[in-house]
Structures are given as structure tokens and as C-alpha cells.
Structure 1
Amino acid sequence: MAVSEFLADRTRRNVAILALAQVLFHSTQGMAIATTPLAALQMLGDNKTWATVPIFLAHVGLMTTTLPAALLMGRVGRRAGFTLGAMIGIVGGLVSFAAVWVQSFALLCLGGFLQGAAASFAWHYRFAATDTASDDYKAKALSLVMVGGVLAGLIGPQTAKWAVGIFDPVLFAGVYMMASVFAVGMLLLVQLVRIPNPVRTEGASSGRPMSEIMRQPMFVVAVLSSMFGYAVMTLVMSATPLAMNGCGFGFADSATVIQAHVIAMFLPSFFTGHLINRFGVLPIIAAGAAIEMLCAVVNFMGIGFFNFLIANMLVGLGWNFCYVGGSTLLTKSYRTEEKAKVQGTHDFLVYGTTAMAAALSGTLQAQAGWTVTNAASLPMLAIVLGAVFWLSRMQKTAAAARQHEA
């Protein structure tokens, strides 16, 4: 496709811009994952139980603002919402910078909450990519935006390694300053997004009642896939820097593992959309849950560097299939005028669950250990597999009934 044709194609241009914004967004996420538990541990001393509380509060911020963010964008449009989210991200990075500068755990928790609130807007980049896409391009558009996370996997943790000591002797301050710089980049990029203003009826009271929408089997499975696929990843990922620290590994080692993890989260997005179109969304979700189970198996086998590395790559890959699959399935459960409230409800449920997983990870790791932390993931993944089997059987039964009637 020629450059002029690309620029004239609104959907593809939006996808490219949103993918770049996604790079910066997930770079800040990778930096936070690698840094925040260790920054908290430095402030807390021997009280390791609370080390993931700032990460927990980031998920609380994400959970509590995701529905308002979706509804706000349903009223004022994507660009205005993304602008506000980027501004909150700038402030969140600066607050976290101040926290490590004065060694205030309370400020670090506030910074985490603000970063979560900023993320509640940025996670809608994937849905925004589908706003102007045709039905047969939606899965691919969503997947291509998620590809931005591949570069983020390289840039985020690598930036953390470089910036960790630039304000020496105040360890980690440089990482949070760079998070604010990246948020400035997001602020500039989203000004280029061109998506039509929302229809006037697109709000909390538009379309069918949420109670009716939520009773759809398709909605149920979409939410369970995203919710538990993401919760398992959060559980393992949040505890990984703490577990590696306890096993004698340094910051560079844990940052490398998180780097590989983030790349594994988003690299499949080059082909996840193609796989969904070819094999169907339910088999991809099931494959994701099975791959996340393999993460636990690898962690059960040992606590060497490569156990941490391979397990985190597996949980990242499994998350991609579950989350992209769940998000794709969700787009089939609502009408245009119901988009904002359905996407917001989906994200509220997902991030509420991941908030609990983030809180649980620190407690489990400190009180019960790495093996129990990983074992806690298995029941959630079993639920996802059961839900996929249930919907698949239901769809086959319905198809057979239609064939019989014909």
C-alpha cells in the first residue's frame, strides 16, 4: 500500500497511531512491573507482605475508573478521553518519582493508583481501533494495536535498567521520571487519532439493559476469558520480582525476565487475529488457558533463572490468546449504541479481578511461597476451559437445530 493510500485509509492510520501510543503505554507498564514491587520492598524493609500493594492500587485505580472512562468517551469521544488519560499518567509518574525521592510508601501507593487510572483510558486503544473497522477487519485491527506491546517489551524494561540509577543514590527515581516522559509522548500521539464523535444515544441508558446483555453466553465467556486470563498473569507477574529477589537474583535479572514476559504478551498479536479468523475465537481462548497452565508447571519444576524466564513467557503468551480472544468475542455481544457501557462493564469486571490477584500475589508469596502462588492460578484457568467447552457445545447444538429446521 502506497503512503498516500495509507494516509487516506482512516482505519489503518488510526491503527498505526494507536499502536505507537500502545508502545509508550505498555513501556510504562513494563517499567512499573519491574520496578514498583522492589521500590516498595526497599521502603518496607522486612515487611514483605505489603510489597505489591502499590501494584494492587494501580489495579484498583484501573477498576474504579474504567467504567467512568468508557462512559466519558461515549459522550465526548476517544481523543478527549485519551488526552485526559495521558495527563493523569504524567501526574502519576511525577508522584511516584516524589515517593522514591522522599521514601514515602503512601505516595508510592498514590502514584500507583494514578497510573491505574491513566491505564483505564489507554486500555481502550484496542477498542478504538475497531471503531472505524469493518466486521472482517475488527479482530486484525485489535490485534495490530496490541502489537505495539512487542516494542514496549524491549523499550520499557530496558529503559528501567538504564534509568534506575540516573538520580543516584535515589534508586528507581529515574524510572518514574521516564514514565512521565512517555506519558507526554502518548499525549502528543493521541491528538492525531481521527474517530467520529459518538452517537448521542451511546451512553449508560442506551440499547438493551446491561442485565440482559450480561445474560448472553457470549458475554459471559468473553468476560471469564479476559478476567481469569488476565488475573493469572497478574498473580504470577506481580510476584516474580519478589520471588527472584528472594532467590538471590538482582534487578537486572528480574527486569530481563519481565522484558521477555512483555514481549511474549504482545508478539503473538502479529498473528492472533489471523488465528482467530482461521480457527475461531473459542479454540484460541482454550489454547491460551492451556498455555497459562504450562507456566505453573514450569514454575513447579524449579527456581532457576530459566524457570522464571520460560514461565513468564508462557503466561504472557497465554494471556494474549485469552485476552485478545475475549475482547474479540465481546465485540459480538453488543450493538453500536451499547458499546461504551458494555466495554466499560467488561473492563470493570476484568480489572476488579486483577486488583484482587495483585493484592493476593504479595500475600501468597510472602506467607505461602512461590509454589502456592502458582497453584492458585489453576482453578481460574479450569473455569475458562469449562466456559469455552460450554459455549462451544451450545453453539453446536444451536447450529444442529437450525440445520434440522432447514
Structure 2
Amino acid sequence: MVLQDREKKLEVQPNWLQAYISSSEKQQQLYKRTLVVVVLSQIFGGAGLAAGITVGALLAQDMLGSDSITGLPTALFTLGSAGAALLVGRLSQRFGRRFGLTTGFLAGGIGAIGVVMAALTNSILLLFTSLLIYGAGTATNLQARYAGTDLASSTQRAKAVSMAMVSTTFGAVAGPNLVGVMGEFAQSVGIPALAGPFILAAAAYILAGLVFFILLRPDPFIVAKAISDYQSTTSKVEKNSNLITTNRRGILAGAAVMVLTQFVMIAVMTMTPIHMGHHGHALKEVGLVIGFHIAAMFLPSLVTGYLVDKIGRAFMAIASAVTLLASGILAAMGPADSMTVLITALALLGLGWNFGLISGTAILVDSTPPSTRARTQGSVDVGIALAGALGGGFSGLVVAHYSYPALSIAGAGLSLLVIPIVIWGGINRKNKVCQ
């Protein structure tokens, strides 16, 4: 009866959807078109997420007059991104990527506007509330990477993720380096300088949402689900090695890699601007260091995606741990007044995160069928966001009670947990995870 019900549903599929189900050529055309749309939206989305990373802690420090909870802004917008990740995942599962991603980006833009209003009125409550909503943009920017994988083959998935991430670089690197310009613009219209980057964030997130709303047609996730339903009703299902089934061990391994690398990266990154401020670095220098950090988070993605697909998920996840270890040691041991040391340490921090996110994402996509994929991805991204919230929240306490070098060493040690997780995952040379 279940099989008959599925067949009946397939018979009533609209003609345009049946055309994609029956044509691998049309599927590849839509896959490539989706990548173009994702790339365009991520350019705007990258500029939006950079504002909170660069000046969120500094804005809170200015409004609160204290260092001990300057990690709270990062904790708030990453906590907000956790709730948004769950919502965007559920909306995408039910209505498609277009609706879910559009909603998330527009919410992030509204949150950024709220931050500007909070700075104008010097309202701490409005600031914290707006940062929670602003986190929706961060979550959506991250979840957009999944859109390119919906119609990708097993040898294209990491590359699809990397295309989304590398395009984020253009906006994400420009954002921190426009801190000074946006600050001057904000002051010229009577807004505090540190709120200036959030004006850019509001415009960027809203534009990213409009790109998805207008251009992501047909929806790749809806097409992928229809193809999966069709394959599950054919007599060749058992012989079809490309049919993806739920692999809980793979889901846990991929999620753990991404959660750990996110926690370490957010914790160290959050307190770097405060650390630099204590050692006399100007706001433009902070923007430069964070710019290099974000470039390293996203720019190497094309190479990383190729390596993850060709060399393997496990190898690149372990490379993530080693790179984060090197970053933590350098940040802790190097002279705090050296821009070269700070740029190198933060670039390695971003690169280690990049390795972990792309390899972990590929493992997760390998392990989930379209029937549950977006919902599972949203749930995993909740964990990633919560890890970021914890990292941002604890980082200020650690630095206030101990030091920035202590925070960096702790992050380096935690990153090594990725290695036993990968070994437990049992990912073989063909990038499959043992059941």
C-alpha cells in the first residue's frame, strides 16, 4: 500500500518536475544554475556576517563599559543563529530552500537594523534582543551551503560546498575592511561609529534574501526530493548504489567535527579584537586582522573542496585539528604587538575551521537522504550555533580571569579531539562511513 501511495503521488507530479526526474541533463543544468544563485547570494551574505564578528564585542564594550562580558554579543548572535538554523531547516524541508533561506536572511537584516537603533538609543536590552535576531543571518549564510549539494553527485558535494563558501569571501573580507568607512558614514548621519558596519549588514542580508527569493526557481531541494521518491519506487532500488540511506554514525561524526571546530574558532576569534585593543592596536588594524581571518575561513574553499572529494573526508578533518593546534600555539606564544603574528595565527584559525566545516558537511550530506536531509542539516547547524554561543560566552570569562594566551592554548587542545572522532567514524578511502 505504501508503494502504491508513492506511485500515485508521482503520477500527479507537475510536468516541470517530471521533466527533471526523467532527465539527468536537466538535473545537472539546475545544479549548475543553483550554484550561480548561491554564489551571488553568498557575496552579500558574507558582508552581513562580518559586522558582528568585527565590531560586536567592541560595541558591547563601549555600551557596557566592561570587558568581562564582551564575549556576550557573539554568544547572543550565535545563540540566535541556533534557533534560526532549526527554523530554516524545518522551513526548507517543508517548503524548499527558497522559502527557508529567504526568511532567514530577511530576519538577519531586521536584526542588524535593530542593533543600529540600540546604539542610537543606548538601549542594552534592544541591543541584546537585536543581536539574537541578527544571528538568523549567520545561520542562513551557513545553511546556504547545503543548497548547492541537493543535486550534486557524491564526487561533487564538497566542491558544491566550497563554491558557496569561497563566494562568501568577497563580502566577508570587504566587510571588516569597510569598518572605518562605515564608521565615518554612521557618524556623518548621527549614528555611533561602531554601529556603522551593521548598516552594511542590514542591506547585505536583505539583498541576499531577495536573490534567493527571485532567482532560486525551480527549487533544487524540491527536485531532489522528487527524484529520491521516484528512485525509491523503482524495481532497481536495491541495485542502485547511489541511493542514499540514513547513516546515524556518519551524521554524528560529521556533526562533531563541525561543532568542535566552530567552538574553537569562535572562542579565539571573539576575543582577538579585545586582546588587540589592550595592546594598542587601532580599529583599522583590528579590521585588517579579522579580514585575513575571514579570508582564510572562505577563500581556500575551492582547493579544500577538491581535496575533500579526492583525498578524503577523514584526512581533511584531521588536517583541521592540526591547523587549529598550530594557530592556538602561535597566538599564545607570539608577541601581542606583532601584526604579522596576529594575522598568521588568525589566518590559521580560519583555515582550520574551513577544513573542518567542508569535510564535516560532506560527511553529513553523504549520510542523509533527501527525505530528511534539510531537517537533519538544520538540527546539526543548531549544534554548531550553540557551540559558537558557548565559545563566545566562555571566551570573555576565560580572558578576564586568566588571559588570551590561556584561551588560545585551551582551544588548541580541544581541537585535537577531532582526531579520535574521525577514527571512531571509520570513514574509508571511498569517503563512506561504516554502518
Superposition TM-score, scaled by structure 1 size: 0.88
Say whether residues 1:26 and 2:46 are aligned partners. Answer: yes
Match of 1:90 in 2: 109
RMSD: 2.4
Q: Deviations over 1:293-318 (max 9, x none)?
A: 10111112221222211110000001
Once residues 63 and 301 of structure 1 are traced to their aligned partners in structure 2, the CA distance between those partners, rounded to angstroms, is: 33
Q: Is the 8 A contact 2:48 2:175 kept in 1?
A: yes
Asked whether the equivalents of residues 153 and 261 of structure 1 are also in contact (C-alpha less than 8 Å), the reply is no
Once the two structures are TM-superposed, the CA of residue 73 in structure 1 deviates from its matched residue by: 1.1
Matches within 5 A, 1:218-257: 218-257=250-289
Partner in structure 2 of residue 146 of structure 1: 165
Q: Does 1:340 align with 2:374?
A: yes
Partner of 1:209: none
C-alpha distance in 2 between matches for 1:69 and 1:299 = 35
Check whether the contact 2:273–2:286 (CA below 8 A) recurs between aligned residues: yes
Q: Deviation at 1:253?
A: 0.7
Number of aligned pairs? 382
**Is 1:122 matched up with 2:145?**
no
Larger Rg: 2
Greater shift, 179-188 or 315-324, is seen at 179-188
Q: Which amino acid aligns with 2:155?
A: D
CA displacement, residues 269-313 of structure 1 (integer Å, 9 cap, x when unaligned): 121121112211100110011001101111122212222111100
Partners of 2:124 and 2:226 lie apart in 1 by 43
Say whether 1:353 aligns with 2:387: yes
Give me the whole-angstrom Cα distance separating, in 1, the residues matched to 2:41 and 2:302.
Answer: 17
Contact 2:330 2:345 in 1 (8 A): yes
User: Counterpart in 2 of 1:43?
Assistant: 63
Does the CA contact (< 8 Å) of 2:27 and 2:151 recur in 1? no
Q: Deviations over 1:34-88 (max 9, x none)?
A: 111111111111x211112121110111112312220111111111112211221
| CA gap 1:92/1:275 in 2 versus in 1, 3 angstroms | same
Report the TM-score, using the length of structure 2 for normalisation.
Answer: 0.83
d(CA) in 1 for partners of 2:196, 2:321 = 36
Are the equivalent residues in 2 in contact too, given 1:75–1:200 (CA < 8 A)?
Answer: no
Q: Does residue 383 in structure 1 map to residue 417 in structure 2?
A: yes
Aligned to 1:287: 319
Mapping 1:2-401, distance limit 5 Å:
9-45=29-65, 47-168=66-187, 170-190=192-212, 191-194=214-217, 195-196=219-220, 198=222, 199=225, 216-302=248-334, 303=336, 304-392=338-426, 395=428
CA distance in 2, matches of 1:111, 1:344: 22
1:107 Cα deviation after fit: 1.8
Name the amino acid aligned to 2:274.
Answer: L
Q: Distance in 2 between matches of 1:54 and 1:300?
A: 23
Counterpart in 2 of 1:206? none
State the distance in 2 between where 1:230 and 1:39 align: 23
Stretches of structure 1 that go unaligned for 5 or more consecutive residues are: 203-211, 402-406
Contact residue 399 and residue 407 of structure 2 kept, 8 A: yes
Name the CA shift for 1:7/1:217 in 2 (closer, same or farther; >3 Å): closer
CA distance in 1, matches of 2:410, 2:57: 20
Identity rate, percent: 26
- d(CA) in 1 for partners of 2:414 and 2:148? 29
Q: Which runs of 4+ in 1 moved over 3 A?
A: 5-8, 196-202
CA distance in 2, matches of 1:174, 1:118: 17
Which stretch shows the higher mean deviation, 231-240 or 162-171? 162-171
